[in-house]
Structure 1
Amino acid sequence: MATEYGQRYGRGHDRPAGTGHRLPAALRAPFEARTLREFGHVLLSLPVSIVLFTWAVAMVPLGAGLLVTFLGIPVLAVALAGCRGFGVLERARARALLGVDVADPEPLRTAKPGALAWMGAVLKSGSSWRHLLYAVVQFPWAVFAFSVAVSFWTVGWSLLSYPLWFWVFPAYAGTGGVQLYGDAHHSVYLDNPFEIAVTCLVGLLFTLATPWLVRALTTVDGLLVRGLLGPSRLSARVVELESDRGVVVDAAAADLRRIERDLHDGAQARLVGLAMDLGLAKEKLREDPQAAARMVDEAHGEVKTALQELRDLARGIHPAVLTDRGLDAALSAVASRCTVPVRVEVDLPARPVPAIEGIAYFTVSELLQNISKHSRARSASVDVWRAEDRLMLQVIDDGVGGADVSRGSGLAGLAGRLDAVDGVLVVDSPAGGPTRVIAELPWRTTA
């Protein structure tokens, strides 16, 4: 779950949408394509909801009444399947006209093929019953929204254009204009210039208010589509957890491959060479003791190098200082190895669980490595603190900037690892710097 810093914390650098228009939003709203699409959605909702409601109230009671016989089950399953089919249409309509992109609900899960298994899956699916609820709820709302939107739309444009067509009344109806009031004694017509201007002004107010009213009505439509026709929160959470599990498995496999490669190319290769050198030294021990001594001395240096590589590898798996002394000492040790001066400040009331602590450590470690390799910074800082139920990490450098999660760099992999534990990576790195990276992790402590 990676996102731009400005989008999440309200400090974006992009110009707000709409500032390039000369007319204010209130004046151009009646002529915008979005308004026309939303009004079209309201107009279409009525016939679609009538068909859907008729299907639901005809088929579902029929199937329920036939449950005393076996025929009730297939009829009820077909009724719910039809509601799910209408759901596909409604999601496509909301996506095209409202810009509301709702994912498909969870698919039907059948233990085995066959009509009976399919009917059982339809009847047991919570999504099917939510589609039925949508069919029942959408109809009265569509009638209300259609009536309000069409009334405001026609009244607004009719009154706004009244100066263009009021002449019809004196020419063909024998009256001065639209009759505002009338009884047996007197009548009031909108026929003089002042009344015509006021009528036009009232129409302008209706016309300007209608797009926002239609937008409010379609917002409710969007909520209905999201809440009843999309995946449930439980199924969405299951999909997210499955995706996160895949990320964790892939990350663990990549770490194992890295460890195997480091062992094979590093310490293992040195130890193999060391064994060969000691074997040669053993053969030369009697013939040329001085040469054997030099070879043993070289082997001793190789042993030290191999031990250092093994220590570095062990530190990369899980540093002992993190286990023994916590994040403050471990991050200070990482900062001391950075190529630029790093200020470290850790303010935690307690130690989080080892899993979260380890992720926090490796997150800061990788960010500092990026600073050393790519940022060309002169200084950096690391801050760690707790904010309610979140562990917050902030790494800032004064380098050249330009870091981008979307480019598939190491930041993208880091964001995936954080997302696997419900964490967030936020990057603000404009060209020219500075770069600010904030990572959030769930706060959990050991009992």
Structure 2
Amino acid sequence: MNGDAHDRAGVGGLAVVRSLAQALLTHVANLPLTILLLVSLALVPLGVGLVLLPPVLLAVRGLTNQQRRWALDWSGVEIPVPYRPRPAEASTAAGGAAGEAARKATRVARWTATVRWLLRDPASWRDMLWTATNSVTGLVLGGLPAALVVYGLEGVLVMPWMPDLRTFGWGPFWPLGDYGLAGSAGCALLGSLMALLGWRYGPPIMRAYALVNRSMLGPPRGRLEERVRELTETRSETVDASAAELRRIERDLHDGAQARLVALSMHIGLAEQLVRDDPDAAVRLLAEAREASGTALTELRGLVRGIHPPVLAERGLDGGVRALALALPMPVEVTVDVPGRAAPPVESAAYFAVAEMLANAAKHADAERAWVEVRHNGSALVMIVGDDGRGGADPARGGGMLGIGRRLAAFDGTMAVASPEGGPTVVTMELPCALSSPKT
């Protein structure tokens, strides 16, 4: 029993310390952020708010993520992170080859994508609401255990010896006109009771505060249902794309390599019949058979390359992207920083995504140069493809971009297109993935 009482006392003391930390964080961080948030929202109609709002919202996210960590570590309450994935940012180095206009467009596209990402995320608006309400609940509920203990200790250790401080709230226990023994005893008794309540009920109070935060900071049920619908649609699109790809392979095999192999078999059979009676004709048939075998082999290699390019298996994504750049009729600046290998399906999806964007730049954008940047940011493979063409690219019109977007979505990936009329075009794609051991 003594051990259990000691453990409870330790837990209660820890809860009081944590409550004090919570109250300090609310006072030092939450209140200033609330003021900055209100000012930024008020200045949005003037345009200044669009500049101030993103850093303020990112700071709010840092505060809410700290609350999520504390809720889990201190009270065992898990608050899932509901934010939508952040779009990958194009670096200024990626647009350097296209001159100052490309660099400026890259910076504008990066800021615009950040603003759009923050304001379109429902979790950002829930964060704003939490920030405003937590200015009160963080002090009242989160700081309640510490307030009870500190105020109680004040009643025990300070008030009986300083009767001039009766305005702090201990006056009812003092006799009118004279401090008296009864007043001192009343202060000490009530102070002890308050400190005991804060110490004993600190953990459940902190847990209640964590549950309040979870109700506001966790993903709403509608968001979970929306995510299920997104995954269902993505799965359906992936199944349809896989079925279409299988039909294409079957058609290519039937119309191409299979027909070549059938002709090859017929030429060899005829050569067998003529080898004794007409050797010259047999030789001609064998030559045609050799030519047909070479054509069939070329078609089979092209078919395999369309499924999984051999260059990926041999040289990885770095070599594959550089091979794509060399095949284009315009200069392409390539920067690859991927310290390892992604899973083969992810590498293949990344390769074909870059290939499609470079093909669009060469065929439709009238671009004179392009650039490709591929890197891994610790949690995802980021691919940025840009060109100095005429712009106006829009995945909503269908075509290859739409197909690539669906292919990336199958891996929970994203694609953002910044392509104003007159260019340049910057396509930022992201594929969540882990890498194998770094290259040696």
TM-score with structure 2 setting the length: 0.47
